Amino acid sequence: MAVETTAADVGGGLLPGELAPPAPRPDRPRRVAETVAVARRLLEDEGPGALTMRRLADEQGIRAPSLYKHFAGKAAVESAVIEDALFALGRVTHEALHQPGPDGPLLSLLTTCRSEGLAHPNLYRLATSGPLDRTTLTPGLEEWAGNPWFVVTGDPARAQALWSLAHGMVILELDRRYPPGSDLDGTWRAGAAAFATGPVPPPRS
Protein backbone atom coordinates (compact mmCIF):
# COMPACT_ATOMS: atom_id res chain seq x y z
CA MET A 1 0.00 0.00 0.00
CA ALA A 2 1.33 3.42 -0.93
CA VAL A 3 0.99 5.61 2.14
CA GLU A 4 2.91 8.80 1.43
CA THR A 5 0.78 11.82 0.58
CA THR A 6 1.90 15.30 -0.33
CA ALA A 7 0.07 18.54 -0.94
CA ALA A 8 0.45 17.92 -4.67
CA ASP A 9 -1.39 14.61 -4.29
CA VAL A 10 -4.48 16.41 -3.01
CA GLY A 11 -4.58 19.16 -5.56
CA GLY A 12 -2.07 21.82 -4.58
CA GLY A 13 -1.36 23.78 -1.41
CA LEU A 14 -2.79 23.13 2.00
CA LEU A 15 -6.20 24.48 2.96
CA PRO A 16 -6.61 26.75 5.99
CA GLY A 17 -6.10 24.63 9.08
CA GLU A 18 -4.91 21.62 7.08
CA LEU A 19 -1.85 19.71 8.23
CA ALA A 20 0.86 18.35 5.97
CA PRO A 21 1.15 14.56 6.11
CA PRO A 22 3.71 13.01 8.44
CA ALA A 23 6.82 11.53 6.95
CA PRO A 24 6.32 7.79 6.54
CA ARG A 25 8.60 5.38 8.29
CA PRO A 26 11.33 3.63 6.28
CA ASP A 27 10.29 0.75 4.07
CA ARG A 28 9.52 -2.40 5.98
CA PRO A 29 11.72 -5.47 5.61
CA ARG A 30 10.34 -7.87 3.01
CA ARG A 31 8.96 -10.43 5.46
CA VAL A 32 7.31 -7.74 7.55
CA ALA A 33 5.70 -6.13 4.51
CA GLU A 34 4.48 -9.48 3.22
CA THR A 35 3.01 -10.40 6.59
CA VAL A 36 1.16 -7.10 6.90
CA ALA A 37 -0.23 -7.51 3.39
CA VAL A 38 -1.42 -11.04 4.19
CA ALA A 39 -2.95 -9.81 7.45
CA ARG A 40 -4.93 -7.13 5.67
CA ARG A 41 -6.17 -9.60 3.05
CA LEU A 42 -7.29 -12.11 5.68
CA LEU A 43 -8.91 -9.37 7.75
CA GLU A 44 -10.86 -8.00 4.81
CA ASP A 45 -11.85 -11.40 3.40
CA GLU A 46 -12.53 -13.40 6.56
CA GLY A 47 -12.66 -11.01 9.51
CA PRO A 48 -10.52 -10.51 12.62
CA GLY A 49 -10.85 -14.12 13.71
CA ALA A 50 -8.57 -15.14 10.84
CA LEU A 51 -5.69 -13.09 12.22
CA THR A 52 -3.61 -15.61 14.10
CA MET A 53 0.12 -16.01 13.93
CA ARG A 54 -0.28 -19.61 12.77
CA ARG A 55 -2.60 -18.60 9.93
CA LEU A 56 -0.34 -15.74 8.88
CA ALA A 57 2.59 -18.13 8.78
CA ASP A 58 0.66 -20.82 6.90
CA GLU A 59 -0.36 -18.32 4.23
CA GLN A 60 3.32 -17.56 3.61
CA GLY A 61 4.50 -21.16 3.73
CA ILE A 62 6.58 -20.69 6.88
CA ARG A 63 6.32 -21.78 10.50
CA ALA A 64 4.70 -19.51 13.07
CA PRO A 65 7.83 -19.17 15.26
CA SER A 66 9.56 -17.52 12.30
CA LEU A 67 7.15 -14.59 12.53
CA TYR A 68 8.23 -13.84 16.08
CA LYS A 69 11.58 -12.77 14.69
CA HIS A 70 9.73 -9.79 13.21
CA PHE A 71 6.66 -9.26 15.42
CA ALA A 72 6.20 -9.51 19.17
CA GLY A 73 2.78 -11.02 18.57
CA LYS A 74 -0.54 -10.58 16.83
CA ALA A 75 -1.06 -7.15 18.37
CA ALA A 76 2.08 -5.90 16.62
CA VAL A 77 0.77 -7.15 13.28
CA GLU A 78 -2.56 -5.45 13.92
CA SER A 79 -0.78 -2.20 14.80
CA ALA A 80 0.98 -2.25 11.43
CA VAL A 81 -2.33 -2.86 9.64
CA ILE A 82 -3.92 0.00 11.61
CA GLU A 83 -1.08 2.33 10.66
CA ASP A 84 -1.58 1.58 6.96
CA ALA A 85 -5.32 2.01 7.34
CA LEU A 86 -4.94 5.42 8.99
CA PHE A 87 -2.61 6.59 6.24
CA ALA A 88 -5.09 5.41 3.62
CA LEU A 89 -8.13 6.92 5.36
CA GLY A 90 -6.28 10.18 5.90
CA ARG A 91 -5.29 10.32 2.25
CA VAL A 92 -8.81 9.90 0.89
CA THR A 93 -10.41 12.26 3.40
CA HIS A 94 -7.85 14.98 2.69
CA GLU A 95 -8.52 14.44 -1.02
CA ALA A 96 -12.24 14.86 -0.32
CA LEU A 97 -11.59 18.40 0.90
CA HIS A 98 -9.64 19.32 -2.22
CA GLN A 99 -12.13 17.74 -4.63
CA PRO A 100 -15.45 18.33 -2.88
CA GLY A 101 -17.78 18.52 -5.85
CA PRO A 102 -20.99 20.56 -5.87
CA ASP A 103 -22.08 19.55 -2.36
CA GLY A 104 -19.11 21.16 -0.65
CA PRO A 105 -16.29 19.83 1.52
CA LEU A 106 -18.32 18.89 4.60
CA LEU A 107 -20.67 16.49 2.82
CA SER A 108 -17.79 15.30 0.66
CA LEU A 109 -15.87 14.37 3.80
CA LEU A 110 -18.83 12.53 5.30
CA THR A 111 -19.55 10.71 2.05
CA THR A 112 -15.92 9.63 1.74
CA CYS A 113 -15.81 8.35 5.31
CA ARG A 114 -19.02 6.43 4.71
CA SER A 115 -17.79 4.94 1.44
CA GLU A 116 -14.49 3.81 2.92
CA GLY A 117 -16.15 2.26 5.95
CA LEU A 118 -18.70 0.36 3.89
CA ALA A 119 -16.11 -0.78 1.34
CA HIS A 120 -13.66 -2.07 3.98
CA PRO A 121 -15.77 -2.89 7.04
CA ASN A 122 -13.35 -5.16 8.88
CA LEU A 123 -10.41 -2.85 8.25
CA TYR A 124 -12.47 0.16 9.30
CA ARG A 125 -13.53 -1.49 12.54
CA LEU A 126 -9.98 -2.49 13.42
CA ALA A 127 -8.60 0.99 12.72
CA THR A 128 -11.29 2.99 14.48
CA SER A 129 -12.70 0.86 17.29
CA GLY A 130 -11.25 -0.47 20.53
CA PRO A 131 -8.07 0.58 22.36
CA LEU A 132 -5.28 2.14 20.29
CA ASP A 133 -1.60 1.77 21.16
CA ARG A 134 -0.48 5.19 20.00
CA THR A 135 3.15 4.43 20.78
CA THR A 136 3.30 2.19 17.71
CA LEU A 137 2.11 4.83 15.24
CA THR A 138 4.20 7.13 13.09
CA PRO A 139 4.44 10.45 15.01
CA GLY A 140 1.69 12.83 13.91
CA LEU A 141 -0.26 10.19 11.97
CA GLU A 142 -3.38 10.13 14.12
CA GLU A 143 -3.59 13.93 14.23
CA TRP A 144 -3.14 14.21 10.45
CA ALA A 145 -5.67 11.46 9.71
CA GLY A 146 -8.24 13.26 11.86
CA ASN A 147 -7.33 16.74 10.63
CA PRO A 148 -9.96 16.97 7.83
CA TRP A 149 -12.67 17.04 10.49
CA PHE A 150 -11.07 20.15 11.98
CA VAL A 151 -10.62 21.75 8.57
CA VAL A 152 -14.36 21.64 7.82
CA THR A 153 -15.46 22.77 11.29
CA GLY A 154 -12.70 25.11 12.45
CA ASP A 155 -13.14 24.00 16.04
CA PRO A 156 -11.65 21.01 17.90
CA ALA A 157 -14.85 20.19 19.79
CA ARG A 158 -17.02 20.39 16.68
CA ALA A 159 -14.45 18.34 14.80
CA GLN A 160 -14.68 15.54 17.37
CA ALA A 161 -18.45 15.78 17.40
CA LEU A 162 -18.62 15.54 13.60
CA TRP A 163 -16.24 12.58 13.56
CA SER A 164 -18.28 10.89 16.29
CA LEU A 165 -21.45 11.38 14.24
CA ALA A 166 -19.83 9.95 11.11
CA HIS A 167 -18.25 7.02 12.93
CA GLY A 168 -21.46 6.12 14.71
CA MET A 169 -23.44 6.28 11.48
CA VAL A 170 -20.93 4.07 9.67
CA ILE A 171 -21.11 1.47 12.44
CA LEU A 172 -24.91 1.59 12.53
CA GLU A 173 -25.04 1.10 8.77
CA LEU A 174 -22.52 -1.75 8.88
CA ASP A 175 -24.52 -3.42 11.66
CA ARG A 176 -27.78 -2.87 9.74
CA ARG A 177 -29.32 -1.21 12.75
CA TYR A 178 -31.19 1.46 10.82
CA PRO A 179 -34.83 0.51 10.25
CA PRO A 180 -35.56 -1.06 6.84
CA GLY A 181 -36.43 1.52 4.22
CA SER A 182 -34.50 4.33 5.91
CA ASP A 183 -33.33 7.06 3.56
CA LEU A 184 -29.71 6.85 4.64
CA ASP A 185 -28.49 9.27 1.98
CA GLY A 186 -30.92 11.76 3.47
CA THR A 187 -29.70 10.94 6.97
CA TRP A 188 -26.11 11.69 5.98
CA ARG A 189 -27.20 14.94 4.33
CA ALA A 190 -29.04 15.91 7.50
CA GLY A 191 -25.89 15.25 9.49
CA ALA A 192 -23.92 17.51 7.19
CA ALA A 193 -26.57 20.22 7.43
CA ALA A 194 -26.48 20.11 11.23
CA PHE A 195 -22.78 21.01 11.18
CA ALA A 196 -22.83 23.36 8.21
CA THR A 197 -23.53 26.51 10.20
CA GLY A 198 -23.48 27.78 13.74
CA PRO A 199 -20.74 28.15 16.34
CA VAL A 200 -20.16 25.67 19.11
CA PRO A 201 -22.42 26.56 22.08
CA PRO A 202 -20.54 27.95 25.10
CA PRO A 203 -20.30 25.74 28.19
CA ARG A 204 -23.04 26.23 30.74
CA SER A 205 -22.08 28.04 33.92
pLDDT in tens, 16-49: 999 999 998 899 999 999 999 999 999 999 999 9
Closest residue by Cα to residue 1 from 73, 83, 118: 83
Q: Which of 12, 42, 71 is the last residue of a domain?
A: 71
Same domain, 143 and 96: yes
**What total of structural domains would you count in the chain?**
2
Whole-model pTM: value is 0.89
Same domain, 90 and 171: yes
Q: Is residue 76 part of a domain?
A: no
pLDDT lower than 50: segments of the chain: 1-11
Residues 65 and 88 in one domain: no
Are 117 and 88 found together in one domain?
A: yes
With beta carbons less than 8 A apart as the criterion, state whether 94 and 148 touch. Answer: yes
Residue 14 in any domain: the answer is no
Provide the residue range defining the domain that includes 36.
Answer: 27-71
Sign (positive/negative) of CA torsion 81, 13, 16, 25?
Answer: positive
pLDDT at position 5: 40
